[in-house]
Amino acid sequence: MRYREVFNEGTFRKRLRLFWVTAIGVAGALLLNGCSKPQPKQDIPAAPVTVGDVVRKDMPVEIRAIGSVQPYTQVSVKSQINGEVVKQNFKEGQDVKKGDLLFLIDPRPFQAALDQANGQLAKDVAAEKQAAAALVKDQAQAKYANAENGRYKGLVSEGVITPEQADQVRTNSEAMEATVGADRAAIENARAAIKADEAAVEGAKIQLGFCQIRSPIDGRVGSILLYQGNVVKANDTGSMVVINQVLPIYLSFSVPEQFIPDVKKYMASGQLKVEATAGNDPNSHREGILTFVDNTVDQTTGTIQLKATFQNHDRSFWPGQYVNVVLRLSTQSNAIVVPARAVQNGQQGQFVYVVKSDATVESRPVVPGRSTDAETVIENGLQAGETVVTDGQLRLFPGAKIEIKNSPSGQAVSRGSGR
């Protein structure tokens, strides 16, 4: 019984060993068989992209900047005399013409001063006339006294009269000559007084004229800073109102100093156009002329200030407004141009994906030139007539297949499904 049990246990072990050997062999054969068969190739889906054409055309050579609108002329209205504001003749934000009455300062004290100056002038004119009349009278008397003195000299030599009588006549003649001289001096004094009075009258008229504060320019008034009833002082630090001339108007902007030679070069050959747009509003696009180049470079920013003049007939621009500025210098003829979005930055520099005839792409290095908002000039690397990828570059690599999503008809076009 014991022998039978031992025999059965040994047989079981042998069979178990044989089972595992067989199983391992079968598994190995299956594994080798599976590795020896070629795997089916998995296709990479075509990447959806949009494309654009490489074209040859004339491109403007221009400088872009951010500028601010400034009034063509700005006047801070102040009083030149002391007094009370008795009238305000305009409304805030109103357009005014040169010479329009803005404020009236109480004229009564200045009218009184003018009347007084006129009175003094009349008095001195009368004094001058009186002195002139006295001169005429005294000249006649001096002439008679001089003639009498001549006769008396002859009578003394003849012994008709005494020398004392002759001396008395001579003294009287000399006195009349002195009186005539005094009359002439009185006339000169009266004339000098008249000139001083005339100056006083003119000064009083000017002061009276300052009571009427008029607009010195055509423009638009701002907020009223001093209302009717207030008392003003001559040339006070504060303004009564500020007037801005907005027709025409200035647009001020700055460009880097390295552009100075180009600006000077092209200005010497003619007027330079400046285009401006307020924000993103295409309807506000206007053209002006570059009229000012500052004489100093700002050393803190390395820029130079320029100004353009815009007619601004429709008042599209307003003082203090920020605008996008384009200074057009010249035009580059027959430039190779691509959509700006096609140019990418890589580790080896800038490049574009060029679409090949088999609906794959190649990465091609390029040398970009000047750019606008939507287009870039390519100095080297592309030819007119080629097609470049403008959107979807993140999924691309050299040799990748693409599916073009834009076309002249506006429908999706598939090039290469990848299957």
Per-residue pLDDT reduced to its tens digit, 140-159: 887 877 877 777 666 766 66
Cβ atoms of 200 and 172 closer than 8 Å: no
CA-based Rg of the chain, rounded to a whole angstrom? 52
415 in a domain, yes or no? no
276, with CB counted inside 10 A (0-12, 13-18, 19+), is buried
The token pair at 110 is 């200045």
Query: Is-contact 89 102, C-beta < 8 A?
Result: yes
Residues 324 and 358 in one domain: no
Same domain, 116 and 205: yes
Residues 180 and 196 reside in one and the same domain: yes
Q: Are residue 317 and residue 381 in the same domain, yes or no?
A: no
- What sign for the dihedral angle of Cα 171, 176, 177, 181? positive
Clarify whether residues 307 and 325 are in a common domain.
yes
Which pLDDT does position 300 carry in this prediction? Answer: 92
The last residue of one of the domains, among 185, 210, 235, is 210
**What CATH number is attached to the domain comprising 392?**
2.40.420.20
CA distance 396 to 402: 8
344 and 309 within one domain: no
DSSP 390-417: EE-GGG--TT-BEEE---TTSS------
pLDDT tens, position by position, 10-68: 555 656 566 665 666 555 555 555 554 555 555 678 899 999 999 999 888 888 899 99
Q: What kind and span of H or E run contains 301?
A: none
pTM: 0.63
Q: How far lies 317's CA from each of 69, 156, 283, in Å?
A: 7, 102, 12
- Number of structural domains the chain divides into: 3
Does some domain include residue 273?
A: yes
Domain-terminating residue out of 297, 317, 333: 333
For the chain, list residues with pLDDT below 50.
1-7, 36, 408-419
Q: Are residues 385 and 395 in the same domain?
A: yes
266 and 256 in one domain?
A: yes
Domain identity same for 265 and 280? yes
Same domain for 380 and 285, yes or no, is: no
Residue 202 and residue 143 share a domain: yes
CA distances from 80 to 74, 77, 89, 237, 359 (A): 18, 10, 18, 11, 81
Assess if residue 236 is contained within a domain.
Answer: no
Same domain, 257 and 321: yes
Instruction: Classify residue 226: in a domain, yes or no.
Output: no
The pLDDT value recorded for residue 50 is 94
Own/partner contacts of 203-206, CB < 8 Å, gap of 24 or more, are 203/117, 204/110, 204/113, 204/114, 204/116, 204/117, 204/118, 205/114
Identify whether 40 is preceded by a cis peptide bond (ω within 30 of 0): no
For residue 298, give the CATH number of its domain: 2.40.30.170
In a domain, 19, yes or no: no
Last residue of a domain, one of 184, 210, 236: 210
Cβ atoms 117, 197 nearer than 8 A: yes
Is the residue at 202 inside a domain? Answer: yes
DSSP symbol at 360: B
pLDDT of residue 21: 56
Boundaries of domain holding 338? 49-57+334-404
